[in-house]
Structures are given as C-alpha cells and as structure tokens.
Amino acid sequence: MADNKRRGEDAGDDRLDDEVVDDVADDDATSADEPVSRGGTATRSRARAESADSRPTTRSETGRVGVFGRIARFFREVVAELRKVIWPTRKELLTYTAVVVTFVAVMLTIVGVLDYGFAKVVLFVFGNSD
C-alpha cells in the first residue's frame, strides 16, 4: 500500500542484524568482571554508580525547566511525531472512507432490524394497548 513511503525500514533491519551478531559475540566471551550467575549485572551497576557520582551542577543540566519550556518542548515533540506519520494518499483516504461508511451502514441496518424485531416480540408478549 504505502511501502515505498516508509522511512528507515531498511536501516532498522540492518541495525537489528548487527545487534543480534553483537549479542551472540558478547554471550560467547565471558569476562572476569562479570559473574556468570548474575548475567553480567555487576558491570552495569558499576556504570550506573559512576554516572550517579557526577551530579549536574547547573540548572540546565538538572533537567528542571519552567512551565513555558515544558510546553514548548511538548509542542516540538508533537510536531516531530507528526512528521513520522505516514499520511495516506487521496485515493487511499477515499477508499478507507468508503469502507467505513459501508460498514457503518451495514451495522446500522442490522441493529435497526433487530430493534424492530425485539419491539414486536415485546409488544406481542406483554400485549398491545390498542
């Protein structure tokens, strides 16, 4: 449908293949720093501890931003996400719209017929005031 418009599909596949190869290579090689029973978490926790020691000193490094800065960041992120959207062509849009309208009309007909039928059954069971 819109396969030719998808961004980064080939790049994502290559990246995944490289990660699989790297994971396999990392699993085969065991280091003295990584205990086998814990799956190498000692190295990761040491890296976290080292990064926690270097505390940010300025306001911009702490990530605290004012209300207007957060609102501006929100709108920048919204625009960035909307640029990633694969928008349908006019022909696709008309096709999807026709499918939805047809489906809704069919469902409306089914529910209308069932409602009419149940109303007749209820009037028959409980009697008609006429």
Whether residue 51 contacts residue 57, with contact meaning beta carbons closer than 8 Å, is answered with: no
- Is residue 104 domain-resident? yes
- Is residue 35 domain-resident? no
For position 127, what pLDDT does the model report? 82
**Residue 70, pLDDT above cutoff 60:** yes
C-alpha 92/C-alpha 3 separation (Å) is 13
- Is residue 93 domain-resident? yes
pLDDT digits (tens, 9 = 90+) for 16-62: 554 444 444 555 555 555 555 555 555 555 555 555 556 655 555 55
Domain that holds residue 117: 88-130
Domain count, the chain: 1
For position 64, what pLDDT does the model report? 79
- Is residue 11 domain-resident? no
**Residue 122, pLDDT above cutoff 70:** yes
For position 112, what pLDDT does the model report? 98
Kind plus residue range of the DSSP H or E element containing 123? helix 90-126
Sign of CA dihedral 44, 45, 46, 52: positive
pLDDT digits (tens, 9 = 90+) for 24-36: 455 555 555 555 5
Sign of CA dihedral 24, 26, 30, 36: negative
- Is residue 54 domain-resident? no
For position 85, what pLDDT does the model report? 93
Average pLDDT over residues 116-120: 95
**Residue 81, pLDDT above cutoff 80:** yes
What is the chain's mean pLDDT, rounded? 74
